[in-house]
Amino acid sequence: MSRPCPPAKSSRPANAPSQMASVAEPLVPLEPSGRYRLSRWRAEFVECDTEQRYRGHVEASLAVYVSHALVVWGVLWLFFGLSDYYQFGLSFMLGCAWAVRLTLFCALLAGAILVRRRPALATSGVVMTAAMLLGMTSFFGLYFVSPDEHIRWLAAVTMTLIIELFVLLPNRVIYTVGVAVYAIVGTLVCVAINISETTPLRMIILAELLLIPAISGWFAAQRFEITRRREFMALEQAEAEIERRTALEVQLQNQALTDPLTGACNRRAYASAAQREMATARATGRPLSFVMLDLDHFKRVNDTHGHAVGDAALVATAELCRDVLRSCDIFGRLGGEEFLIILPDTDHATACGVAETIRSRLAASGRVNGAADLRLTATLAVTELGPDDEHLDDVLRRADAILYRGKNAGRDRVQTA
């Protein structure tokens, strides 16, 4: 017969584990910190999984920053196009210069929109690296249309651009290093092609001057990226510690309310639940029944087969009872081989049916681990909450007397009076 749980408030003790749950699992220790090892050269986590978690953590905020940086870069690129008029006047070269500037501006704007729609591109570095390469390539074009005196200024501007690659434009450090190398080599090539009086010594000096911002920028970007990843590492470890402490708290609560062998409620838990259910039953007029279960000849089981088999028999009995009971029923261990079952919203006749189901299943159950010839039986006493029952002890005394009569009547039975 189906016995739905009453719709009233839960019959489970506050903060108590589910009656269908077993003893809490042992805590899993925190993972070793080796997974947070950092590569100084790349300024990234060595383990791919950790690096991917970090990128997922910063993805949304970084996508916003990258898109803003690309838009600002594009606007500044157009703004400095005013100098083209000073250099070329109203000429065909001015039109070509502005065509290049507009093309780069549209490319940067498209990159900003793409990053907003696909934030993962911000952390992968693909869009920003492409923008850097396109921007530097466009800048190299100025070397071929500028007079010699302006080319020297362009080389000085390149030093500033290299610093900006590392400091102002968010990208993976290893990719920015590659773009910086491209900027240095490209600048040297452009200067060598467009300035006739260059000498090997001047080129060496220029290379050294370009390396200074590249190396400085790399150290600055490396320090920034490593710091952010260490903050992420601290955050993950703090969250893991919070989870571990929460799990420990749950485990301690379970241990405080649960019998460690069978997973049943201990006295503290079932006594509190019983008082609550008794108060609810009196207030609502709903029936409340109790079943006391005692395994027959349990001392003989321990003496004959050993305490390990006796413990296995108790665990098997508890599991069988859980299979029969509802989630709102309270299943507790009184002590030794005795158990108490509290059945909310259950009258005496229905409680007898539940007790009979447990008894018959136990008698028909298979072997207990470690004892092939062991057959378990139990005597069960059923009683209902009476008008004079003020405390659980009143019910337990009556149930114990009923159980005693069942034992004297031959055991392996459900006794009701």
Q: Are 290 and 385 in contact (CB under 8 A)?
A: yes
The C-alpha angle 220, 224, 226, rounded to 5 degrees, equals: 115
* Amino acid 8: pLDDT: 53
> Distance between CA 409 and CA 406 in Å, rounded?
5
Q: Which tokens go with 153?
A: 């200024």
Domains located in the chain, CATH noted:
34-240 (no CATH), 267-415 (3.30.70.270)
Write out pLDDT tens, residues 175-187: 999 999 999 999 9
Dihedral sign for Cα 167, 170, 174, 175, please: negative
* Amino acid 28: pLDDT: 42
Integer-rounded Cα Rg, in Å, for the chain is 40
pTM higher than 0.75 for the full model?
no
* Amino acid 404: pLDDT: 95
Choose among 293, 294, 289: nearest CA to 383.
289
Beta bridge partners, 378, equal 295
* Amino acid 82: pLDDT: 77
Residue 197 a catalytic site member: no
Catalytic pick among 44, 51, 337, 384 = 337
* Amino acid 330: pLDDT: 95
With 0-12 / 13-18 / 19 or more C-beta atoms within 10 angstroms meaning exposed / middle / buried, residue 237 is: middle
* Amino acid 7: pLDDT: 65
**Which residues of the chain are under the pLDDT cut of 50?**
10-32
Q: Are 62 and 121 in contact (CB under 8 A)?
A: no
Q: Are 369 and 312 in contact (CB under 8 A)?
A: yes
* Amino acid 27: pLDDT: 42
Write out pLDDT tens, residues 357-411: 999 999 988 667 656 667 889 999 999 999 989 899 999 999 999 999 999 999 9
